[in-house]
Homo-oligomer: A and B are copies of this chain.
């Protein structure tokens, strides 16, 4: 597979520090012609499952051969590994902490990257993950970047909502800029949703079908069940933030 030359970045570093800039510098120092594209740096600090959702909702929009770097709460260098692998003709680089939980495509050529024993997360971004991503984008094979690693990437056990009797114990994976609450409910749950955290919810087909000021559930642009409030914030109405529990009946 020919690399696209594109490297995407997704982190919990925010944009008010120099950490993201330093990662970009490290990439360009290895591969000056790389096109570096931000997915987002607005993941809540340490919110691995939110990061996994955001990565999942963006990477398929990029050309084949793109390298996706995800760094949220890496803590690599001890028990936790730094990995790189191939899936669906894209490359992925990051800590093996659940960030790749939603990746359903067959995974191949996984390697474990060398990491210093202890260092700050932001150091890992610049000095471990960025150079590897740059070398992948420049055409280096995965096998040349680390030692073979046979296990599948870690999948977080709470990635999907679970049934508790007739109810669902779900989670707000993400609350978007428009106040939509993206859940980890399976699509098949949609037809039976009546309440979320004790509030009445109507199921609709599109945002336009939502009556003003009424909480609705729908399959949104994320391809997941979202709670939405037309021209308002479902996140504020439900009092939830990413990672919070949603009890859905």
Contact = CB atoms under 8 A, between A and B. Distances in A.
Interface of A: 4-6, 8, 10, 12-26, 28-29, 32, 35-42, 45-46, 54-55, 57-63, 66, 78, 118-123, 126, 174, 176-178, 206-208, 220-221, 231
A4 to B, nearest CB: 6
B5 A122 contact: no
B207 A120 contact: yes
B40 A17 contact: yes
Nearest to A39: B21
Contact of A25 (B58, B121, B178): B58
**9 interchain residue pairs of minimum CB distance:** A16-B42, A25-B61, A14-B177, A21-B39, A120-B221, A25-B62, A18-B58, A22-B61, A21-B58
Assembly stoichiometry (copies): 3
B6 A28 contact: yes
A208 B221 CA distance: 39
Contact of A21 (B25, B40, B208): B40
A178 B176 CA distance: 21
A63 B177 contact: no
A63 B32 contact: yes
Given A4-B28, A118-B206, A119-B221, A40 B15 contact: yes
A60 B208 CA distance: 35
Given A15-B15, A18-B40, A45 B118 contact: no
Given A21-B37, A24-B37, A118-B206, 5 more contacts: A4-B32, A14-B177, A21-B58, A25-B58, A119-B221
